[in-house]
Amino acid sequence: MTLAPAYSPMDCERYSLLELAILHGRTLRLRWVGRGMSHIEYVRPEDLRTRRHAEYLVLRDAMTRRRFLRLDRIVHFVEIA
């Protein structure tokens, strides 16, 4: 069994920007790293959650699937008008 790396919290300013995007129903262009690859997606953030000692963004992807993305995997995000 492979354990996930220790969680590294997102800084407060970026966390607040995610909260605002959720509150205003904004779409994000999100760049994140997972399984050694970089991903870029357009997503609709829905909520922020804490579980198993890590924080997650609850989102809907372009195919409207509900997903959970660990915040420390997010490299960059920007709101799309």
Q: What would the pLDDT profile of 18-58 be if each residue is shown by its tens digit?
A: 999 999 999 999 999 988 899 999 999 999 999 989 999 99
Which element (helix H / strand E) includes 21?
helix 12-23
pLDDT at 69 over 70: yes
Q: Which of 18, 12, 16, 47 is nearest to 30 (CA)?
A: 18
Question: What's the pLDDT at 35?
Answer: 86
pTM of the complete model: 0.88
